[in-house]
Structures are given as C-alpha cells and as structure tokens.
Amino acid sequence: MAEAAQDYGSQPLWKRRNSLTVRILAVNIIALGLLAGSLFYLDNYRRDLLAERFVLARTEAEITANALSIASRSERRKLIGQIGIQQGMRLRLFDRNDKLVDDSFELAEPSFTFVSPSEEPWYQNVGRGLDRGMDFLMGAPPIPEHTEPKEQSGKEWSEVAETRRTRITAIRHRTAPDGTPVISAAIAFGKRGDVLLTTRNPTDVTQSVRDARQTLAIVVGAALLVSIQLSLFLARTIVQPLRELVRATVRVRLGRDREVVVPRLPQRRDEIGLLARAVSDMTTALRHRIDAVESFAADVAHEIKNPLASLQSALESLNKVEDAGLRRQLMGIAAHDVKRIDRLVTEISDASRIDAELSRTEFEPVDMVRLITALVAARDERGVNAGRTVAITRDAGAYVVPGEASRLERVLENLLDNAVSFSPPDGKITVALSRDAGRIVASVADEGPGIPPEVRERVFERFHSLRPADEDFGSHSGLGLAIARTIVEAHYGTLTAGERPDGATGACLIIDLPDWEGQ
C-alpha cells in the first residue's frame, strides 16, 4: 500500500484526478480558453487603429498648416472654422508668444464634445471596465487624461513646446473622460513662428475595439455553454455506465449480494459496451469458478471423510482385538485406507492445479499417432491392460494437434484405465483416430456394459461413483474423467461420452481437438 501511495503521489496532478467528468470539461474548456485568449490580441488591433490615426493627425496638421501659411488673416479664420466643422476636430492657432489667436470652437459650432460617463448607460461603464482590465493584463502603459487648461496658452501643451523646439510635428495621445482616445498634433509653420494645434476625439476606434471584443466574447461564451453541455453529455455517456460497473463489481467483490447483475449495456456498441459485457462475462465465470471450488471442497471433505472414518474404526478396534488373524485383517484395512487417502490427495492436488499450469503452458505440435502408439506399448509392457487387447485404427494422414504431450498422455491414460475397468477380461479396446471438419477426433471404445444416456454427462463430474460391481472399493478416486475433461478443454477441445460407432455394446469416449495445421 505504501508503494502504491508513493507511485500515486509521484504522478502528475492531471493523472491523479478521480473524475473523468472533470478531465473532459478541462480539455474542452482549455481549448476554449485558448480561443478566449484572442481577446487579448485585440489590443494589437487597437494599437494599429491608433497608429493609423496618428499618421492621419500628422497629415491633417501638415496640410492645414500649409493652407493657413498662404492664407490672409480673414481667410485664415474662415478656413479654421470650416476645417474644424468638416473634419470633426478642433483647431487652435498660437502665435510666437504662445497666445491663442484663433479657435475653431469659437469661430464655428464645436465639432465634438466629450461625453460624461455619468450620462452614459451602464453597459458603457462595463465596457470601460473591460478596457481597463485588458490594459492591466496586457501591461499597457498608462495614458494621461485629457484636460482643458484654464488658460488657453500654448505653454499648457507639451506638444506645442516640442514642435517649437524640434520644428517637427508632435503627436500626443490622451484619454477623454469616457475612456475614448484624444489625439493632438502640433506643427510650427510660417516665418512668424505660429503653431497649429489640432485635437480629435476618434470615438470610433474605441467602439470598433469594443464591438470586436463583444462579438468575440459572445462567440466564446456561446461556444463555452455548448461545450459544457456537450462535455457533460459526453461525461454522462462515459462516466455513468462506468460508475454502474464499479458499483456492481464492488458488490460482487464484497460478496454481499450473490445475485448482483452486472449491466451488460447491450444497446451500446462502443468500447464501454464491450467493457460492460466483458466484465459481466468475467463475473459470471468467476461465480461459476467459486461455485466449483465450493462444490469441490465439499466433495473433497466428503470423500476423505469416508476412508478416515474407516481408518479410525480399524485403529480403535485394533487395541481391542486379541486374535492375530483379525488383527492382520484390521491392519490390512488400515493400510488400504491410507493408500486410498494418499491416492485421493494426489488426485485432488492434480485437479486443483491443472488449470493454472495449463494457462501458463505454451503449446507445441503433438503427434497423436506417435503418442498413442507409445502409450499402448508402454501399458502392454507394464501389464496394466490386464489381458485386454488394445487396437489402434486410423485413416491415412498426419494427426498433429497443439498441446502439451504429457497432459494429453494423461488424458488417454485415464480413458484407457476407465475402458480396462469396464471391459470383460478378454475384451477389446479400440483407439481410433479420424478427422472431422478440420479437427482431429480420437475415440476410446470398450466392450463393457456402456454408459446409459442419462448419466453420460455425469461421469465427468468429480468423485462420480459409477464403477464396476467387481472392482475393489476405493481403488479409484472418481477424478480421472473430470481431470481428463479439464485437460482437453484447456487444449480448446471437448471430451464427451457416447455409443460405439459400430453399434455394439460398450462405451465410447470421444476427444475432439483442433488441428495444428489449422492454427
């Protein structure tokens, strides 16, 4: 747990989030945040507009100064008034002593007036607040406020002083009370040292930037709302079924509800649906495995209890019996029970670990003809067939299956043991190899009484007790056929019981395995 916690703590923060909803929202909102960042780049748009107006103010001031320099005194006053009205700006003319000579606002109607913020609707105040916020975020330098001096003198204007000193048109940018720009241009002209000061309040610049910001803000806001709704919908389609699966699997893990139904989500054809059905199938297989383990444990306890009871009874009676012959008989019973318990433990051990071992085994090609031939010869040499004849029949061709040779040999050994047990002393056992629909079929048929149809499936159950009447009690564990079927199924095959193909009396156990060439 400590290592897991350490690994968790070393992960990036975004990987440690528990909710997929948060991740989905974050990914979509971050993308919109980048789009919203374009609001800041509107500041470049504003600067470009102002730069154009600075050039325009310089050009207007120079053209007007040239016109005034060739005009008479009366024509000059008339020209200043007309230009002020037509161009929407204020013109002021100062003499060499910085005394105001002419003012377009006095010679004609004022071409513009500064708007008081108190007289504007509330949304204009919001717009000014956004402008200040953007300027602060962008680190824009502060712009001085435009104020009309009490004394109309050229000395009150820094641009007038600059143009007198440099003889170059001087431009100044100030801010009106309503936040709009005020652009002033001063130019010295003529031999008498006159200076022309032009002032313009281009409110359209601010309005253009605000309109662009408003349009972009509306687009971003609408996209944000749609993105959030789509993200929440997407999160619900992903997170909700996952949470249902988590709740079901937790209940299965806790074992509080044996009939917990893991949702299979058949209507979903995506990865979530595949996951749900895989978890449901896994849970079902797990339940079957648990049931099998529980049943197996109960069967083991029952099967071991019988020889233990017999052994206990024999040992308890041994101390009470004086007759030597009877004592030898009791000792034989005890020895038989010990062997029976040993055989049970060995078979149970094999049965319990066979699945795990085969799951880790890499299959190799196994020649069934060679395997069966060697097995039958070895059994004849050991004499375990007890006088029964074992014949091998097969069609032409190779019979190679994928698997583990030792395990498949164990299956055939169990089937032959079973056939020998039920065959008459002079009976014949036939091992046949054939092909069927691209698969390899191996069958073991005997001449015994056969297996009734109603119990043909039960013979593969663990500790099945259907044995020949003349067989010694306890000489078989009842696990042979169960182990054989487990091995065959692990090799992607089947093991079934049926009638002899020739219709004669006897049992026929059939192994169906995949062909190596078809893998």
CATH number of residue 355's parent domain = 1.10.287.130
Question: Is 388 found in the same domain as 319?
Answer: no
* Whether 459 and 426 share a structural domain: yes
| Structural domain contains residue 247 | no
Given this model, what pLDDT does residue 217 score? 74
pLDDT of residue 19: 60
The strand pair at 389-394 and 428-436 is best described as parallel
378 and 425 part of one domain: yes
Q: In Å, how far are 162, 284, 497 from 192, measured between CA atoms?
A: 17, 106, 128
Q: Is residue 241 part of a domain?
A: no
3-state secondary structure of 9: helix
Q: Does 64 lie in the same domain as 207?
A: yes
The reply to whether 146 and 293 lie within a common domain is no
403 and 471 in a single domain? The answer is yes
**Are 433 and 348 within one domain?**
no
CATH of the domain at 386: 3.30.565.10
The answer to whether residues 514 and 375 belong to one domain is: yes
The Cα 161–Cα 105 span in angstroms is 22
In a domain, 8, yes or no: no
Q: Is 30 part of a structural domain of the chain? A: no
The type of residue at 293 is V
- Both tokens of 102, joined, read 């002419």
Does some domain include residue 5? Answer: no
Give 442's strand partners: 433, 511
CATH number at residue 75: 3.30.450.20
Polymer length in residues for the chain: 519
DSSP type of residue 168: S
Residue 322 shares a structural domain with residue 337: yes
**Domain count of the fold of the chain:** 3
Check: CB of residue 511 under 8 Å from CB of residue 409: no
- Exposure on the CB side of residue 485, measured as CA atoms within 13 A: 15
Angstrom distance (rounded) from CA 172 to CA 162 = 11
201 and 154 together in one domain: yes
* Residue whose token pair is 């703590």: 9
| pLDDT computed for residue 337 by the predictor | 74
Q: Provide CB contacts within 8 A for 76, sequence distance 6+.
A: 68, 93, 102
Does residue 336 sit in the same domain as residue 368? no
Closest CA to 429 of 367, 376, 356: 376
Looking at residue 56, its amino acid is L
Q: Domain end: 327, 343, 360, which one? A: 360
Which residue range forms the structural domain that includes residue 399?
362-518
**Pick from 342, 360, 378: which residue ends a domain?**
360
Question: Is the same domain home to 498 and 387?
Answer: yes
Question: pLDDT tens digits for the chain (519 residues)?
Answer: 444 444 444 444 444 445 656 666 676 666 666 666 665 566 677 888 889 999 999 999 999 999 998 888 889 899 999 999 999 999 999 999 999 999 999 999 999 999 888 888 877 787 788 777 777 777 778 899 999 998 889 999 999 999 999 999 999 999 999 889 999 999 999 888 899 999 999 998 888 887 877 777 777 778 778 777 877 777 777 777 888 888 888 877 776 556 667 777 777 777 777 888 888 888 777 777 777 666 666 666 666 776 777 777 777 787 777 777 887 887 887 787 787 777 667 766 666 667 666 667 788 999 999 999 999 999 888 888 888 899 999 988 889 999 989 889 989 998 998 899 888 888 899 999 998 888 999 999 999 888 888 888 888 886 665 544 444 444 455 677 888 888 898 888 999 998 888 888 899 999 999 998 766
- How high is the pLDDT of residue 98? 93
Residue 271 in domain: yes
219 within a domain of the structure (yes/no):
no
322, 338, 360 — which closes off a domain?
A: 360
- C-alpha–C-alpha distance, residues 393 and 445, integer Å: 11
Residue 397 backbone zone (phi > 0: left; psi -120 to 50: alpha; other: beta) = left
Q: Following DSSP, what letter does each residue of 62-87 receive, concatenated? A: HHHHHHHHTS-HHHHHHHHHHHHHHH
How confident is the model at residue 94, as a pLDDT? 95
The reported pLDDT for the residue numbered 358 is: 66
Does 234 fall in a domain? no
